[in-house]
Amino acid sequence: MKIVLLGGGSFGTALANQLADNTANEICILLRNPALEKSINQTHINTKYFPKRPLRSSVKASCDVGVLANAEVILLCTPTKSITAVASLLKENRGPNALIVNTAKGVLENGETIVEYLRKELRYKDVISMKGASFSAEMINSMPTLFTVGFDRRFQLEKLMQMTKHTNIFLDYTNDIRGVELLSALKNIYAIALGNVDAKYNALNTRFMILTKAIEEIKVILRNMGGAEETIFLCCGIGDIALTGLSDLSRNRTLGLLIGKGFYNEAMAENAVVLEGCNTLRVIDQTLSDSLKEKLPLLHKVKLMLQQPLDDHYDFQELFRRKYKTVLTYGTYDLLHFGHLELLRRLRELGDRVIVGLSTDEFNQQKRKDCVMNYEKRKHLLEVLSYVDLVIPEKTWDQKIEDIKNYGVDLFVMGSDWEGKFDFLKPYCEVRYLPRTEGISTTKLKSIIKE
């Protein structure tokens, strides 16, 4: 298999060396440095990153972008900041059937992932993700290493399994490409917090308290930004969070350690690791709603830490103070559509437990509302959604006060078309009206179906 690694840094070089253990692979590192190309091809040494570690003799290097034309797999091992240039390079030089695999870790503007950006720019679907708990210093010595593959077509996974055969690289996998991409960026933010806490307290209890909080917050962000919750249990999730947050080989953890020890200065503020972390924080901060950010005090703490590194005191009472909030809404939810899903997603942002009062068939008859699906089917569809924790039957208009009392409801939410109609519930809980998703409704869908 012809494989080109775009980028000859420590990660690209170490990965190339591992993949060379599979003798069926033809490995080429695409570089911009002719001197480094000569060194790798003649002495099998990457003088810049691994001057004392000989590479496999089968690892080749080239400065000729023409090698991309015949590549079956192109591994992107470049910094996130170079992704625009990478897209231009691939657009002009890649072969028509190459599988492009992103290993760069970062999030672009408006929460767009690198894979999404490349698919859009290249107008090409065969762009996937491979991320994991991996340090180059260990990969170069062929230590067993696990990666998560985010893919959407089976042949993509099979090609990577073939590529890594007979190597010490192992794969777990998911169809949640977005989740894999997001996790690889989010863990860097929380690694700063873990390093900082270790520097200030040097206590295992405190370290794992913050690790637990970090995983909780990353899970919340992942779900809100469109990733699947279960992806956090793969190598790209907990594996990479632990590796980056707890190992002193991690640059982001080291940044947190330096801040905690009082060694942070203006020169460090211009460091690439700091800038990348600040950029990821900025994008996440702009993407998430204010109500969701209230659930993320550790994220806020890291943000303040980077802005004011000399003021990194922890108020643990505040960090772990959060009232458990139950949210209640009502509806018919016939012909479940995007508008419904968007409302339920926003409800999940607002609370910890989401309860849906679902109109029964008998109650719908009283309201003179015809449903395509019966109660049990509508109930089942809601119950399989990760946004919904409990579905209860709505049998009458007058049951709401009793439901609020019985289920300990803190927040009652309905669409803005009900504005003011449920203000009588305010003595019992908070009442809020959310705007409907424009351009879609069950009534509109039914009219389209009839046509």
Report the catalytic residues. Answer: 367, 369
Amino acid at 45: I
251 three-state secondary structure: helix
Starting at the earlier edge strand, list the strands of the sheet with 145-150.
Answer: 60-62, 26-30, 2-6, 73-76, 99-102, 127-132, 145-150, 169-174
**Residue with structure tokens 């007058």?**
398
Q: Which of 286, 252, 299, 257 is nearest to 271 (CA)?
A: 252
The rounded distance, in Å, linking the Cα atoms of 48 and 221 is 37
The rounded distance, in Å, linking the Cα atoms of 137 and 9 is 12
- DSSP code string of 182-197: HHHHHHHHHHHHHHHH
Cβ-count burial of 7 within 10 angstroms (0-12 exposed, 13-18 middle, 19+ buried)?
Answer: buried
User: What distance, in Å, lies between the first and last C-alpha atoms of the chain?
Assistant: 53
- Rounded to 5 degrees, φ, ψ at 21 are -65, -20
